[in-house]
Amino acid sequence: MARPRVRSSFVAVVLLLAAPAFADPVTLLSAADPGRLSGSAGGLSVPAGISSDGRWTLFLSGASNLLAGIVDANDGMDVFLYDRLSGMTTLVSHAAGDPTTASNGVVEAAALSTDGRFAAFLSRATDLVSGQVDTAGSADVFLWDRLTGASTLVSHLVAQPVTAAGGCLGKPGLSADGAWIVFTSEAAGLMAGQSETPAVSADVFLYNRAAGSNSLVSHAAGAPATAAGGSQAVISADGGWIAFLSAATNLVAGQTGPAGVSPHVFLHQRATGTATLVSHAAGAPLTVANRFSLSAVISPDGRWVAYLSEATDLVAGQLDTNSLEDAFLYDRTTGASTLISHTPGAPTVAGNFAARDLGVSADGQLVVFASRASDLVAGDTNQASDVFLHTTATGTNTLISHAVSTSAPAAGDSEVPVFAADASGVVFRSSAYNLVSGQDDVVSVLGYDLFQWTRASDTVTLLTQEDGVPLRATNAPVSDAWVSGDGAWVAFSGTSERLDATVDDANGATDAFLFDRSAAEISLLSVRQGAASATAGGAVSATTSASLSNDGRWIAFTSSAPNLMPGLVDLNNAEDVFLYDRMLGTLLPVSHADLLPVTASGASRAPLVSADGGTVVFESYADNLVNQQSVSSQLQLFLWSRGSASSVLVSHTAGFPEAGSDYGTLGDGQYAVSSEGRFVAFASSATSMVPGESEGNAGPDIFLYDRMDGSITLVSHASGSPTQTANGFSRYPVISGDGRWVAYTSTALDLVPSQVGAGGLFLWDRLTGTNVRIARPAGNPLALSADGRYLAFTSSAGNLVPGQVDTNATSDVFLWDRVAGTFTLASRSSASATTTGNGFSILTSASPGAPALSADGRRLLFLSAATDLVPGQTDTNAALDVFLFDRETASVTLVSRAAGSAVATADHGSSEPALSADGRFAVFRSSGGNFVAGQVDTNGGDDLFLFDRETGTVKLLTHRPDSTVTAGRLPADALQVARLSGDGAWVAFTSSSPDLVAADHDGVADAFLVAGLLPPRDFFTVPSCRLLDTRQPGQGPALGSGTVRTFTVTERCGVPFTARALAVNATVVQPTGAGYVTAHPGDGPAPLASLVTFAAGALRSNNAVLGLAADGSGRLSFTPLVTGAGTVHLVIDVTGYFE
């Protein structure tokens, strides 16, 4: 295959929009680079099966652009079949009679017959079969025939072949020829006379393709229509035997054993309709074992069943001290089980850790499994998961995942082994870097590669190697493998974009691949044949979502997409942090390698932008963000400066700014940054960050980082001992705008002098270095006003307010005034300022640091189940609603209100609220359908809404472009907290809905920015005016090569001092040589992207949007590069400006 093209230039700033950002109601932040639209289809794609000859591969995909002309509106997974010989992909789960229209329901699981003709799948669709009648509203099993291209309803009611029974669960199984399909269902009426036991929730059924009928597998002994319960069934290749799990006590005549121990493994014989107890006590075929069993696999002839069990009496003389699952092999001909995961030379002694991931060969003579046990073979000292092969004839275990040319275990986890049908080899995944000679790899807790072990030679081959670079591991997540009969073909899914260089795999998602062993090549199966996606996707940040500066200009978000920026080399297959400039429509890389146009070496996440937009704080596993950074396995905290375009390590070891601390950061977004980005308060369990630190709690403490001198101060220290950590855990810090005050919660007993009682809410003063306790008990999260005077928190205390009457005996929301030293009850009954509401209240259900308090501390946003907070309140949803407390008016306002009412809650509860700094706007999530008059909502989940305190109205934010009252097809992403600018004019959020912007085919979450309820006011036109001409006196001389020239451009040509960017036409005149000119804000670095390029003597012009200095000085800088150290004149004409 051809080597992938490598771009040599790095464009540090990317222009994303040709028009101002306000031109659309929703702005896409994670837009794909127009020069690198992905060649892979959007969305998750994973294999579900492969034929024995490797010709046919079945896979699931959420892509809507996998095939040309496909119509796909189900916003979920569909099932496809790939033909290796023709290279064609066919939509399996299509609407009846329409092979290019995806069905109206998602596919949840699928399986392929060995000959590749039949595909069984689980789907909620109601249009897969002509005339289909489906009122159950749940999943059914369907069978698709490649020869006819049509689907048959498997889980149908008796004698009603197109009427769905529903209630199907899990993955169906097929016999080799597709004649028999086994599946699990909770439905009644699948077979004639079916009798259900009330306590039984699901049963195993067998479908006869020839007869078109179902029979009950998990039935009571002697009663073929009486359901006994069962699940997780597997079928033999000939369809004659079915192994399954059941908690039933009546599947086998005479069945006995200890009660309350389940499930157990049973084997059903189709010919006789009877079941045999597999996991029985040794020597007692009717007595269930003394512990549960699970994960059965069956040999093609149904003789052998391998399974896992915690039981200690399956084998005579069994000795088991691990109290976990061990691997066993049952022989149908003898009716006995053998312990597989045993120690060397001791066939009845279980290993010292659990076994998992079982596989059995066709003849039952070999069993493959994974385990962390260290005593299954001699010399296993890697303390990791390994893959083993058990030989039945000798009763021995062999280590498969061993280091190259040795019997020693590999240096990493190895798991999920899969047999080739002929048992010639085993495919498994591993994070180890020393399995193959010459392997070019690194240790990674996130990255796995696929390997193939060949039994004849006892050698391991790297399968997922970078295309064109033999032995270089991609070190990216890979899924379980599907292996053809002879092991020549392996289907798998992975996230690396470097597996198939013939396709620019830039979708940032998991794709389906096929490995050809003879050619040692990998082909991308989920190739895009439909329209390209304008979205890059991969926008994920479960802690903070997108984060905004106070003015809404700067928005930080994370994305795993490799095609957001031209010239940025993305090799980490993980999340990276980016900063979007709303004024210029440009993108900056935040988590990049130090001084290099390459993403960091590890995942970065949870960005938090300072109020002034000058810094971004984030977490990362990378070890190359800082110059000479030391390698660390811990998640560390970093601070990136927009001015220097570089990062510093916040959670560093004392005296070593390039060395990460011993425990880094907690990894759940527990940090806060001051307004100008100088101070960062964060929680960490590290013990090496403060000189002389003495550890007193073996857990998290609160620290303060000062960017000015790189110092770290222990905040949660024992009283009078600034380097002694307190004797309890401290968490969830918040910080004042100037970085003086840090509030947090703690369980410690010694934070303040003569402290009485453990824990509570504490406030630390940077100037004095001391703590005061505010209240106990107190819950998280917290909210602090910009000046550090007011602190909002949750507490179940009943005595914080004089005369407090607590009617709910649970948590309430309070506001503390540092100056007055008093508490105010915010979640109060409308009848009394000192009486709590009649239901529990919490500050927010969102992530740590979600804004719940206005900057001046006047207004407080909270959630409550109370129904008496607002006079005349009408509450019918019996859930949490959003309220806003006003400290000055001492009143509570209902935020999540029904349209047209100030006192009626919406029809569903709300969550994850956030407040603008000025206290006017609140954003929140809800599945409610009556917030907006005429609201249309069919996505069945949460949408985002914006409340305006001044007008009392609610706006739907996540709406379709063609309707402000119609929600997108998919709900807002779970756990993704929307953020607002200080004035609420802009809201940043993430969503997977594909219809918020045009051409969204990536199938994953994207980052968006939407205008709030304030009128557009950003862009203003001016009559074309010459702002700069270096040929004129007072503005010259000509720009010299390599020399930065800075001009103040505001207060001229109608451009006010409040302008933050200009719309201009730039012209170069009389260049003495070839070259280019770059433009950049007067307080920022010069980019490598040019404003105008030119040849010697040429006259060249270009339209552009140029950002001004962020400090408000109105400065704009230009830097030319002209061959021969030459000069060039520059003319700038302004046509408008941004505020």
Query: What mean pLDDT comes out for the span 79-101?
Result: 96
834 lies in a domain?
Answer: yes
Q: What is the pLDDT of residues 828-869, one digit of tens each?
A: 999 999 999 999 999 875 555 568 999 999 999 999 999 999
819 lies in a domain?
Answer: yes
Alpha helices in 902-964 (DSSP H): none
583 lies in a domain?
Answer: no
Alpha carbons within 13 A on the beta-carbon side of 515: 27
Q: What is the pLDDT of residue 689?
A: 97
For residues 1010 and 1057, membership in a common domain is answered with no
For residues 1058 and 1088, membership in a common domain is answered with yes
For residues 902 and 800, membership in a common domain is answered with yes
Q: What is the pLDDT of residue 993?
A: 83
Mean pLDDT of the chain: 90
Name the band, by pLDDT with cuts 50, 70 and 90, for residue 468.
confident
Name the band, by pLDDT with cuts 50, 70 and 90, for residue 542.
very low
pLDDT above 60 for 286 = yes
List, in order, residues 6 or more apart from 466 with CB less than 8 Å away.
472, 473, 474, 496, 498, 499
21 torsion bin: left (phi>0), alpha (psi -120 to 50), beta (else): alpha
Q: What is the pLDDT of residues 795-811, one digit of tens each?
A: 999 999 999 999 998 99
For residues 1090 and 1023, membership in a common domain is answered with yes
Domain extent at residue 988:
786-1017
CA distance 391 to 198: 44
552 lies in a domain?
Answer: no
The domain boundary residue, chosen from 776, 794, 818: 776
Q: 1084 or 199, which is more confident?
A: 1084
Percent of the chain with pLDDT over 70: 94
Alpha carbons within 13 A on the beta-carbon side of 1012: 26
Q: What is the pLDDT of residues 999-1042, one digit of tens each?
A: 888 877 788 888 776 654 567 888 999 999 999 998 999 999 99
For residues 831 and 951, membership in a common domain is answered with yes
Q: CA-based angle 726:731:737, to the nearest 5? A: 105
Q: What is the pLDDT of residues 369-393, one digit of tens each?
A: 999 999 999 999 999 999 999 999 9
The string of DSSP codes covering 812-865 is EEEEEETTTTEEEESSB-TT-TTBB-SS-EES-SS-TT---B-TTS-EEEEEE-
pLDDT above 90 for 994 = no
Extract the runs of DSSP E, i.e. beta strands, from 489-614.
489-494, 511-516, 521-524, 547-548, 554-559, 576-581, 586-589, 604-609
Name the band, by pLDDT with cuts 50, 70 and 90, for residue 444.
low
Name the band, by pLDDT with cuts 50, 70 and 90, for residue 446.
low
Q: What is the pLDDT of residues 832-843, one digit of tens each?
A: 999 999 999 998
pLDDT above 90 for 299 = yes
CATH number of the domain that 1076 lies in?
2.60.120
CATH number of the domain that 987 lies in?
2.120.10
For residues 750 and 870, membership in a common domain is answered with no
For residues 791 and 898, membership in a common domain is answered with yes
The domain boundary residue, chosen from 966, 983, 1017: 1017
Q: Which two tokens stand for residue 586?
A: 């440009």
Question: Which range among 244-253, 359-368, 503-512 shows the weakest confidence by mean pLDDT?
Answer: 503-512
pLDDT above 60 for 21 = no
Domain count for the chain, please give it: 3
Omega before residue 263 within 30° of 0, cis: yes
DSSP for residue 531? P
Q: 508 or 706, which is more confident?
A: 706
718 lies in a domain?
Answer: yes
For residues 1120 and 1087, membership in a common domain is answered with yes
Q: What is the pLDDT of residue 4?
A: 29
| Phi, psi of 1124, deg, nearest 5 | 70, 25
Q: What is the pLDDT of residues 251-271, one digit of tens each?
A: 999 999 988 888 999 999 999
* Contact (CB, 8 A) for 817 and 775: no
* Contact (CB, 8 A) for 214 and 223: no
Q: What is the pLDDT of residue 882?
A: 98
Q: What is the pLDDT of residue 850?
A: 65
pTM of the model: 0.79
Name the band, by pLDDT with cuts 50, 70 and 90, for residue 18.
very low
284 lies in a domain?
Answer: no
List, in order, residues 6 or more apart from 86 with CB less than 8 Å away.
none
Q: Of 612, 610, 611, 562, which Cα lies nearest the Cα of 589?
A: 562
Q: Which two tokens stand for residue 391?
A: 């030989």
Q: What is the pLDDT of residues 191-237, one digit of tens each?
A: 999 987 766 689 999 999 999 999 999 999 999 999 999 999 999 99
pLDDT above 70 for 688 = yes
Q: What is the pLDDT of residues 33-46, one digit of tens each?
A: 888 888 888 888 99
Percent of the chain with pLDDT over 90: 67
Name the band, by pLDDT with cuts 50, 70 and 90, for residue 652.
very high
Name the band, by pLDDT with cuts 50, 70 and 90, for residue 292.
very high
Place of tokens 């895009």: 528
Q: What is the pLDDT of residues 918-946, one digit of tens each?
A: 999 999 999 999 999 999 988 878 899 99
Query: What mean pLDDT comes out for the span 60-84?
Result: 92
Q: What is the pLDDT of residue 570?
A: 85
Question: Which range among 99-108, 469-478, 872-881, 1073-1082 shows the weakest confidence by mean pLDDT?
Answer: 469-478
CA distance 347 to 326: 12
For residues 772 and 808, membership in a common domain is answered with no
Helix (H/G/I), strand (E/B), else coil: 545: coil
Query: What mean pLDDT comes out for the span 320-348?
Result: 97
Query: What mean pLDDT comes out for the span 1052-1063?
Result: 87
Q: What is the pLDDT of residue 25?
A: 59
466 lies in a domain?
Answer: no
286 torsion bin: left (phi>0), alpha (psi -120 to 50), beta (else): alpha
Name the band, by pLDDT with cuts 50, 70 and 90, for residue 466.
confident
The domain boundary residue, chosen from 1017, 1036, 1069: 1017
Q: 493 or 13, which is more confident?
A: 493
Query: What mean pLDDT comes out for the span 436-448?
Result: 73
For residues 1001 and 922, membership in a common domain is answered with yes
Q: What is the pLDDT of residues 150-177, one digit of tens each?
A: 999 999 999 999 999 999 999 999 999 9
* Contact (CB, 8 A) for 162 and 129: yes
Name the band, by pLDDT with cuts 50, 70 and 90, for residue 582.
confident
728 lies in a domain?
Answer: yes
Query: What mean pLDDT comes out for the span 490-494?
Result: 92
Q: What is the pLDDT of residues 738-787, one digit of tens each?
A: 999 999 999 999 999 998 999 999 999 999 999 999 998 888 889 999 99
Q: What is the pLDDT of residue 323?
A: 93
Query: What mean pLDDT comes out for the span 124-137?
Result: 94
For residues 1072 and 1055, membership in a common domain is answered with yes
For residues 927 and 1033, membership in a common domain is answered with no
Is residue 267 packed enough to be buried (19+ CB in 10 Å), middle (13-18) or exposed (0-12)?
A: buried
